[in-house]
Structure 1
């Protein structure tokens, strides 16, 4: 991705270089004053909608009493400026009755409306309190109530009365970036689409290694990642949003950028002018600092200063001060750049996080949710940061984060918690079952409540509860096919409504998921597809990357980051291996091979430039097509001693996957810009789902113990006979004594 300047950047640069004297000679002091004035208000504006936090389809509220909550991220502990919420929603009310739509922010009701008519617009725009949020979220709550009749015996399940909330619902706000005083706050304040600045198209192994680790950490935090590089002479750049002021055309580098949609940079000065405008417009959120980046920034200032000096020799000091004050995030000399430094500072008047070329692994651990709040300063040297290794056979519920324990349930309610496979903490092990400690209070109905457990929308099991207000345990087996790199556990509570002869309305009764709930972990299953491979890749995995990928880092990194992220790679502990000179590699542990031959691989995928050939398990050709491009094919390794993935680029261009996706059921996947396009399963049905001998009895047939009845009867009868013999023996001894 190339840098793209904004109109704000143009204004800054125009003001910086404006020549203000009658004779055409610039006054250096006025240039400096103008620049300082324009950069004295480092206000950053943001917009985040529901789509950016994962809500891609309209959300419907259509039961009698329905509630939804959404968490919209904002910089923690930083006041918001001019914050507002634009709720995009509409309603339908064909069944009549009384309807109420309540909107709340951070638990406080801010709007309550009674909606009438068959349908209409339920949108609103409302101001948001600018107080700092320590947790880093604005909590949006929606409550919909629809009552058809005051007679409680009437059927109130009015499924036609519905409010739909659209993914375009948007929170807009600004904040003063000078209020950010720690790396933790800076990380949490990153926009949804994060741009990583690298020194050029080609990177050293250390810098490439650091870049992909940071990219994966960002994707795990729910961000979209783009890679941008320092523009160079010969690059083609986008000028569609440029509007160079007439006064600035006196400088040749800017005059060359004044027209056209695209332009090929013909000189280092043009590249420097384009870089300065782009960075001043906030086109970099994270910078990967290595010697090449420091040199590129210094050289850009030097090249541009030469042209400015010809117009006004006194302006040279302005450029010197600019490099020191407004680019403080980037060291001024290569010797000052610490390869393990993580820093937060100014970058062209804006603020950015800079990460050293050998700090990527530690930074990905530092910004993981386990450690991120410890980053309380703006400048750190990170040698190593990883999660604690879990040596036990279980994981406490703490891996779920701070999820509320107790719910009030009338008819149905759910408790949700998310966790990563990396949270397991033991390479090669995965959650094998979950023990839930539950408390369900008695209700008015005599029908026992039911609890159902889901993982990633797979039903793991269900159980009737005694509901006496005491702790009850529900154990559910977790099949390998249900696991993903990031998982969602859902516990559904279902109660039977109670109607006391139409004399009272149903009331809510509490239920709770206790903190003593935990996962039981076990060794990962035998690899027979993407689903069973994920747990193996969450530990000390090796990424084999050819030198060509590092030579074209700006285009190869996006694909590598996306594949590593969806595969559950732990960026803190994985290893990057480049070309060794051998024709093929021999992995010594779990791996992903990017365009790299692997020794002993059973070939089911053959790629020859733009030709892709896929074969079945018996060797018959399944797919043979030529002329493909912007695709990749991924195969689960078979025939090798170590579990892994084989990634092959189809066509001449590196693939950039625009849409998030997850591996599904299969052993071969074809991937395009929109994600997963096709899957092939070369296993038999029996290979896909392995049985587990440790399937908990609590979720089996509740009467399954009857199959053991003959043995139980035999033991009881034998025990009874032994007691009779013992009693007879005692009686005989007593008679003998008498």
Structure 2
């Protein structure tokens, strides 16, 4: 491909060590309670107050944790624990938990709600009206959490009033927990003593700060890799470009101290609504205040263009301060040393460091260190990040045994025991690319369980699901001994993102109301595993996820680098959904949008022509959406807005996927994209609108190869066909014998 600029991460399959996570800069020396020196001018005192204030405010909602629908509790004794992240080992201030919930009471009886924080009961309520509000505000103590989370315990009990010994549950008595339930708190950034604490402080939608204007290939490459890595741990990255002159900024939440308004840059920001920046000094003023979304970032891709923009804005602001009050220049230099210089003073090309940039702490990541920085997103690493300096290598490949087995504990599952009264679930989630890097894909699953005997003689049932497909089940011998559930994994059940779920169900027993139903333990054992093997990969989304595990060529046009704020969310969402590994991918930037690319390995192309590809979904010059199957047009629609198409194609001997925006604007993805089975999908703001297999619209390829096809069922009968065949043959012979006797008579 002649007209492209290639940025390669090199041999990413090997472990690479030697990336130092630098110690914190002096920016964290000041605390929010530091006294402001007296005897200074009003302007110097105002700047000193900004320098001393390192307080950070955070709001964590259930929606930020991926819970975007109400949680329903409707059993006679239902319990749920929710973990809300906070900075590890950092005291909290002004912390409150707003529990938003409502209830319905269809059956007369006693409903009780018990809330606890970190295992300590804090509020109990009787909710016995027909319906009502169960919301409550809880105070949260300021103690530092070593675990990096506030644990909210919810217990709901619903006992109906009439005597009913079979089952005291009522389907009309429910508690609804709203996704708006949230934890609000503040903390002192000077108390962030290590990178692990800063990592736990990341919100559910962390912002990635990038340079203003068009990005370099290296900077764009780092941003999409960090975004995909964040998606893999359940966080949705936001792209925050550093402001530049002529940008429009919303000043609705900006509050400017009166002493600072004598500076022209601050005075220009004293308003509400949209404001067009017309001076670099105004950007420096916004950076000092840190009250706008333009600087609400949690990570930053550090490249020369970003560092230059920061310095230019602060230099322009310093000139205005110098002209008004030469004495205030010292206070400004002190603020700059504490709040900026630590982020800009990089030593070496491969580093990740924690520093203040303006009013916010940031994880500063050099553009050449993104692949190594992905180690930050490992749960195992985060538990060890309790020092000021660490050396971290790149993520290792998933170790496989000689027979291709991978323990579910390596895929995110945590073995252990749970008490089951009626039903309980255990799950482990993993991207297909983490196990398929050598070409093998999961072909079978084995889950080892043990269950304690209960009061009922009915044995408990364990059901095994993969991506909500039931692939195996068994009644358990409840004697505390290991029992294995083995199941073959059908091809249609695999996806780019996979979830293995084991569901346990018991029969609760009450002896004529003299006994209260009790829960009994069941265990998932560490020997549970999936087995991988090399099979023929299909030309669909799951087949591409397996191919991407070995390496991917991500191709974007130059126009994507010119508008990173709008293009990077698309690249991040689609790359994550497709199973592209941020460690085993190369970014190719095409400078000629008209020249078709010729990939030399599995590829993911964004709005660039691909040589020799026969795309089933196309948009013609008149804006018509055409969906083809072989020589037949299945659908013809005029172009729609906020839509995009993602489809599997072939180019020569290589398989890949092509992403194209339909209409003038692409989708604004509100949540992670989950691809269903197929090879063509139309995407909207909320994800896939429709997904199908253009090469197999009847779905016949989902049927196993060993199943009879058409008349093969008659040519290759199974042994079961011998029974009706023998009966039919006997009847035919009997009728023939009767006709022969009648003729003789």
TM range (shorter): 0.7 to 0.9
Question: In structure 2, which of residues 106, 129, 134 is the aligned counterpart of residue 122 of structure 1?
Answer: 134
Residues in 2 aligned to 1:655 and 1:407: alpha-carbon distance in whole angstroms: 41
What SS is found at the alignment partner of 2:321? helix
Question: In structure 2, which of residues 316, 341, 348 is the aligned counterpart of residue 338 of structure 1?
Answer: 348
Please tell me whether the aligned partners of residues 365 and 387 of structure 1 are also in contact (alpha carbons under 8 angstroms).
no
Residues in 2 aligned to 1:551 and 1:660: alpha-carbon distance in whole angstroms: 24
Q: CA deviation at 1:237?
A: 2.5
Alpha-carbon deviations, 1:38-96, whole Å to 9, x = none? Answer: 33242222221222212222222112222222222222222222322221122222311
Please tell me whether the aligned partners of residues 466 and 499 of structure 2 are also in contact (alpha carbons under 8 angstroms).
yes
Question: In structure 1, which of residues 520, 527, 530 is the aligned counterpart of residue 531 of structure 2?
Answer: 520
Q: 1:142 to 1:259 in 2, by over 3 A?
A: closer
Residues in 2 aligned to 1:190 and 1:358: alpha-carbon distance in whole angstroms: 22
**1:264-413 alignment, distance < 5 Å:** 264-278=276-290, 283-332=296-345, 336=346, 338-378=348-388, 384-390=394-400, 392=402, 393-401=404-412, 403=414, 405-413=416-424
Q: CA deviation at 1:687?
A: 4.7
Question: In structure 1, which of residues 110, 134, 156 is the aligned counterpart of residue 168 of structure 2?
Answer: 156
What SS is found at the alignment partner of 2:574? helix
Q: CA deviation at 1:183?
A: 1.5
Residues in 2 aligned to 1:656 and 1:150: alpha-carbon distance in whole angstroms: 52
Q: With structure 1 as the length reference, what TM-score do the two structures score?
A: 0.83
1:591 paired residue number: 603
Q: 1:608 to 1:449 in 2, by over 3 A?
A: same
Please tell me whether the aligned partners of residues 370 and 387 of structure 1 are also in contact (alpha carbons under 8 angstroms).
no
What SS is found at the alignment partner of 2:145? coil
Q: 1:395 to 1:249 in 2, by over 3 A?
A: same
Q: 1:449 to 1:508 in 2, by over 3 A?
A: same
Please tell me whether the aligned partners of residues 42 and 259 of structure 2 are also in contact (alpha carbons under 8 angstroms).
no
Which region of structure 1 is more displaced relative to structure 2, 517-526 or 192-201?
517-526
Establish whether residue 691 from structure 1 lines up as the match of residue 701 from structure 2. no
Residues in 1 aligned to 2:175 and 2:672: alpha-carbon distance in whole angstroms: 28
1:717 paired residue number: none
Q: CA deviation at 1:359?
A: 0.9
1:196 paired residue number: 208
Q: 1:580 to 1:293 in 2, by over 3 A?
A: closer
Q: 1:487 to 1:526 in 2, by over 3 A?
A: closer
Establish whether residue 509 from structure 1 lines up as the match of residue 520 from structure 2. yes
Please tell me whether the aligned partners of residues 427 and 540 of structure 1 are also in contact (alpha carbons under 8 angstroms).
no
Residues in 1 aligned to 2:513 and 2:326: alpha-carbon distance in whole angstroms: 91
Please tell me whether the aligned partners of residues 524 and 535 of structure 1 are also in contact (alpha carbons under 8 angstroms).
no
Establish whether residue 668 from structure 1 lines up as the match of residue 680 from structure 2. yes
Q: 1:449 to 1:124 in 2, by over 3 A?
A: same
Q: CA deviation at 1:29?
A: 6.0
Q: 1:125 to 1:497 in 2, by over 3 A?
A: same
Please tell me whether the aligned partners of residues 340 and 383 of structure 1 are also in contact (alpha carbons under 8 angstroms).
no
Please tell me whether the aligned partners of residues 531 and 665 of structure 1 are also in contact (alpha carbons under 8 angstroms).
yes
2:489 paired residue number: 478
Please tell me whether the aligned partners of residues 201 and 554 of structure 1 are also in contact (alpha carbons under 8 angstroms).
no
Question: In structure 1, which of residues 560, 564, 578 is the aligned counterpart of residue 575 of structure 2?
Answer: 564
Q: 1:406 to 1:309 in 2, by over 3 A?
A: same
Aligned pairs, number: 673
Establish whether residue 92 from structure 1 lines up as the match of residue 92 from structure 2. no
- Highest RCO, 1 vs 2 (Cα 8 Å, sep ≥ 6): 2
Residues in 2 aligned to 1:165 and 1:252: alpha-carbon distance in whole angstroms: 49
Q: CA deviation at 1:465?
A: 2.0
Establish whether residue 171 from structure 1 lines up as the match of residue 183 from structure 2. yes
Q: CA deviation at 1:358?
A: 0.6
Q: With structure 2 as the length reference, what TM-score do the two structures score?
A: 0.83
2:631 paired residue number: 619
* Pairwise CA RMSD: 3.2
1:603 paired residue number: 615
Q: 1:180 to 1:455 in 2, by over 3 A?
A: same
2:26 paired residue number: none
Residues in 1 aligned to 2:348 and 2:169: alpha-carbon distance in whole angstroms: 64
1:251 paired residue number: 263
Please tell me whether the aligned partners of residues 86 and 126 of structure 1 are also in contact (alpha carbons under 8 angstroms).
yes
Residues in 1 aligned to 2:281 and 2:575: alpha-carbon distance in whole angstroms: 38
Q: 1:535 to 1:610 in 2, by over 3 A?
A: farther
Establish whether residue 73 from structure 1 lines up as the match of residue 98 from structure 2. no
Residues in 2 aligned to 1:655 and 1:496: alpha-carbon distance in whole angstroms: 47
Q: 1:321 to 1:608 in 2, by over 3 A?
A: farther
Residues in 2 aligned to 1:708 and 1:417: alpha-carbon distance in whole angstroms: 42
2:440 paired residue number: 429
2:116 paired residue number: 104
Q: CA deviation at 1:260?
A: 5.7
Alpha-carbon deviations, 1:262-308, whole Å to 9, x = none? Answer: 23323333344344434788522111111111111111122222222
1:633 paired residue number: 645
Establish whether residue 138 from structure 1 lines up as the match of residue 135 from structure 2. no
